[in-house]
């Protein structure tokens, strides 16, 4: 208002100064807004990048990858149990003492923990007394590794059972590998727990981007004797058992028990889960770096 009290010539000049001053202020406000917007965009990008990486690592630890089922997936559990019992009920010669097999959550946890190693070799603690399970002194184990595109629990277990062609029941000898088959049909093994894990690479076989499938059994099989007794189906079942689809079943033995004291394998953390180890090591520095970048951008040191 001060400028408008002068003469016409001064009024024009003062008006120009007012306009110039206003324009400069607007430019400053616009620049601050631009910097604020850039700061916000950079901060958001850094935050989103770190968040995405964190989520991807945690997802690889907590959830199935590439559509592979988790050990709590009911369809997966049903498939694993049913295909085992199908093959056990159809053995030839017939079995007189073949036990009905049911799911065991702890065996599944052990299978999952070892599968995360991505190694085509057996668990190093299977024979250590009660190391991996509260009820079973030792455990049996079968391993299958193959392409994600062809994996299914039933096809993997079927590949183990197909080794029957190499096994001679009379002599108890194999002309090729048949230990997977004998474990599947081991009469005294009545609990099973399986898991599948995505492995970028499986050491020992050279597979890349593979489905690594493991089943653990209790009690274990493959002792130097016959896998089962030959005879009429269910004729040698334990006392108080009933015959179910040519298998010896018992409600008490066959119930699914969920243990409150979980057994944790004591192999190194780096072997239990490489992704989790990487996350624990790399995540803090990345989070700190993102915080520093955000502060610098906010204070215009990087703009």
**Alpha-carbon torsion angle 149, 152, 157, 160, nearest 10:** 0
User: Which pLDDT band, with edges at 50, 70 and 90, does 270 fall under?
Assistant: very low
pTM, 2 dp: 0.69
Helix (H) or strand (E) holding 83: helix 74-89
State yes or no: pLDDT of 272 exceeds 50.
no
Confidence of residue 135 (pLDDT cuts 50, 70, 90): very high
Query: Any idea what DSSP says for residue 130?
Result: T
- pLDDT, one tens digit per residue, over 138-164 is 999 999 999 999 999 999 999 999 999
The span from the CA of 242 to the CA of 234, in Å, is 8
- Three-state secondary structure along 113-171? HHHCCCECCCCCCCCCCCCCCCCCCCCEEEEEEEEHHHCCHHHHHHHHHHHHHHEECCC
Q: 175-209 pLDDT, tens per residue?
A: 999 999 999 999 999 999 999 999 999 998 888 99
For the stretch 5-46, pLDDT in tens is 222 233 333 333 333 444 444 444 444 455 445 555 545 564
pLDDT, tens digit, 9 for 90 and up, residues 209-267: 999 999 999 999 999 999 999 999 999 999 999 999 999 999 999 999 887 545 555 55
């Amino acid at each position: 208002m001060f400028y408008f009290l002068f003469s016409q010539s001064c009024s024009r000049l003062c008006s120009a100064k007012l306009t110039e001053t206003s324009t400069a202020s607007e430019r400053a406000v616009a620049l601050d807004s631009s910097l604020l917007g850039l700061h916000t965009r950079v901060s958001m990008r850094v935050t989103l990048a770190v968040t995405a990486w964190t989520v991807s690592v945690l997802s690889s630890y907590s959830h199935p990858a590439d559509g592979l089922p988790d050990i709590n997936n009911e369809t997966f559990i049903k498939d694993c149990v049913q295909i085992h019992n199908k093959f056990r009920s159809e053995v030839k010669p017939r079995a007189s003492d073949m036990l009905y097999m049911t799911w065991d959550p702890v065996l599944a946890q052990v299978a999952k923990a070892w599968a995360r190693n991505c190694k085509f070799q057996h668990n190093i603690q299977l024979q250590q007394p009660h190391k991996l399970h509260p009820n079973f002194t030792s455990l049996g184990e079968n391993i299958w590794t193959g392409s994600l595109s062809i994996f299914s629990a039933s096809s993997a277990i079927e590949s183990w059972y197909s080794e029957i062609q190499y096994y001679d029941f009379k002599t108890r000898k194999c002309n090729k590998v048949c230990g997977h088959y004998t474990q599947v049909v081991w009469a005294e093994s009545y609990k099973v727990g399986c898991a599948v894990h995505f492995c970028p690479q499986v050491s020992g076989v050279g597979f890349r981007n593979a489905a690594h499938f493991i089943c653990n059994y209790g009690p274990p099989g493959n002792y130097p004797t016959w896998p089962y007794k030959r005879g009429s189906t269910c004729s040698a079942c334990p006392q108080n058992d009933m015959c179910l689809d040519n298998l010896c079943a018992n409600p008490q033995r066959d119930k699914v028990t969920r243990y409150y004291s979980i057994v944790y394998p004591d192999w190194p953390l780096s072997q239990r889960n490489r992704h989790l180890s990487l996350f624990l090591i790399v995540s803090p520095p990345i989070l700190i770096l993102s915080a520093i970048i955000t502060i610098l951008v906010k204070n215009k040191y990087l703009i």
